[in-house]
Structure 1
Amino acid sequence: MLTVLLECRDNEQELAHTLAVLVAGAVDGLVSDVIVLDHGSQDASAAVADAAGCRFLTQWSLEETLLSARGDWVMLLEAGARPQSGWIEEVSEYAAIAGMPARFSPSRRFRRPFFKRLMARTGALENGYLISKRQAAALARPGMDLDALAKSASCRKLRSELIPAWVIREGR
């Protein structure tokens, strides 16, 4: 089983897009819970999370959040990111046999223009991050956010693709 962690701040629309994709994982029994870690949202992000059955935490520490996660594996995503078809089967299989963290492959359909790819730094969560709960708890430090956790260990690449969150923010 898998726990999905998302951080947000005024990401109502992006959060709705991500949660809509995760429903299929919940129906198939892969996603056991989704926890949204809020950074002071003033929009309806809390209502979107509540409607989807997520835990919405306004005060949190990463260590405590990981301890409360129901899944044995944790998937870190940016609000707006959307795993593409085949992700459920691949993540299920990977979690059953692998021991090290992984990221999704970047979407071939949604790529930044060439010069933006050259000049822009890729965020640690742009392609998601899958890690065992045990490993995540061992790496978590006081004050750490999801981005820092995703930078803390090397990982493999999954075949499944992920449409990154910036696609929604840029209106593509």
Structure 2
Amino acid sequence: MRWEDLDQQPCSLARTLAVVGDRWTLLILRDSFLGIRRFDVFEQRLGITRHVLTDRLKKLVSYGVLYKSPYQERPLREEYRLSDKGLELYPVILGLVSWGDKHMSDERGAPIVHTHKTCGLHMHPSTHCSECGDAITAKDVKLSVGVNWQGHLDEFLPKKPATQT
């Protein structure tokens, strides 16, 4: 599988990685959720080259994750804002941050605390079933091929190993 072809794969994760699957893009998204919108501020905060930043921002705009919004008329200057599609990535970013807080932090603990505005308490993301509300882990989920993909993905999902007698 070639990196350039990820968006053509019959896998939602591969297609998603084609858009957000490199370190600079994830850091741009992090900063976007922190309220950063302007090219020069991204460049300064991330220490990223102009060429790479331009490339990543163009990709995020082309996939509809960010959109450009003018903030100055003459000369025209635009900032980058999260679209609704981009805002839907928040649980993904929050999940990565939470994993990092748990597994990658030092003796000082989490660098940023997330507080739920409604209840005022510090929170950690969790995944729940959309139908029954139960908390779920990877062990609680069964995978099957989508109805419109029948016959196309038989080789994609791993086969259940034969039980030994």
**TM-score normalised by L of structure 1:** 0.27
Q: Quick check: which one's helix share is greater? A: 2
Highest RCO, 1 vs 2 (Cα 8 Å, sep ≥ 6)? 1
- Larger Rg computed on CA atoms: 2
Q: Quick check: which one's strand share is greater? A: 1
